[in-house]
C-alpha cells in the first residue's frame, strides 16, 4: 500500500542484498559456493542477520546491477565457521577460496559473514540487470518499503524467470 508522497507503508516480503565483489570477494565464488556475504565492520555484516531460511533475496552488485535471486538456506555465520561443498566433501570456504580476509577471522566486528543460499536464477556481472528507476540501497541487506522497490521487483521477475524456484 502506498501513502502520500510516494512512501510505501508495508513491506512486500522481498529482501534486497548488496554484494560488493572486490579484491577479497568474488561473484564467481558466490555463485559456485552458493552464498552472499558482507564484512569489514558491523555496518556491513549486521544486516545479514535479517535473513532466515526460506527468505527470498534479490542481489545487486553496486554500479553493475542485479545479478541474481536466491532462497536463503541458513542464517549468517562468521567466515571461520562457513562451510561449502567441494568435490572432496565439505570444507571451510576460507580454505578453498583464499581471497577472503584471514586477518580478521577472530574479530567478530571485522570478519566476513556468510549466508548460505540456493540460487534460483543468476547471471554474470556482464549481464547484470540495471535499468533506469530500479531501486538500490546502501545496506548490505534490507526490507525496502518504497514504491520503487515494488516496481523493481515486478521488473526483475520478468528478467529472472526462475525467481520462484520452478
Check: CB of residue 62 under 8 Å from CB of residue 78: no
State residue 97's pLDDT score.
Answer: 87
29 and 97 in contact (C-beta within 8 Å)?
A: yes
Number of domains present in the structure of the chain = 1
pLDDT digits (tens, 9 = 90+) for 9-66: 689 999 999 998 877 889 999 999 999 999 999 999 999 999 999 999 999 999 999 9
Residue 69 placed within a domain: yes
In a domain, 154, yes or no: yes
- Rounded Cα–Cα distance for residues 121 and 119 (Å): 5
Sign of the alpha-carbon dihedral angle for 120, 126, 128, 129:
negative
Residue 164 in domain: no
The answer as to whether 5 is a domain residue is no
Domain that residue 50 falls in? 13-159
Is 140 part of any domain?
A: yes
Give the tens place of pLDDT for each residue, 84-117.
999 999 999 999 987 877 789 999 999 999 999 9
Q: What is the CATH number of the domain that holds 38?
A: 3.10.590
Residue 55 lies in a domain: yes
Q: How far is CA 49 from CA 9, 72, 88, 128, in A?
A: 23, 11, 30, 25
Place 164 in a pLDDT band, splitting at 50, 70 and 90: confident
Amino acid at each position: 500500500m502506498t501513502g502520500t508522497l510516494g512512501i510505501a507503508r508495508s513491506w512486500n516480503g522481498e529482501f534486497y542484498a548488496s554484494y560488493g565483489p572486490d579484491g577479497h570477494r568474488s561473484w564467481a565464488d558466490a555463485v559456485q559456493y552458493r552464498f552472499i556475504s558482507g564484512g569489514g565492520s558491523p555496518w556491513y555484516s549486521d544486516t545479514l542477520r535479517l535473513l532466515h531460511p526460506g527468505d527470498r533475496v534479490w542481489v545487486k552488485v553496486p554500479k553493475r546491477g542485479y545479478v541474481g535471486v536466491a532462497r536463503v538456506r541458513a542464517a549468517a555465520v562468521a567466515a571461520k565457521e562457513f562451510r561449502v561443498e567441494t568435490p572432496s566433501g565439505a570444507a571451510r570456504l576460507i580454505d578453498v577460496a583464499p581471497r577472503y580476509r584471514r586477518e580478521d577471522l577472530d574479530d567478530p566486528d571485522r570478519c566476513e559473514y556468510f549466508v548460505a543460499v540456493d540460487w534460483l536464477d543468476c547471471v554474470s556481472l556482464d549481464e547484470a540487470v540495471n535499468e533506469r528507476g530500479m531501486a538500490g540501497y546502501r545496506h548490505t541487506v534490507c526490507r525496502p518499503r518504497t514504491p520503487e522497490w515494488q516496481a523493481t521487483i515486478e521488473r526483475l521477475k520478468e528478467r529472472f524467470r526462475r525467481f520462484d524456484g520452478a
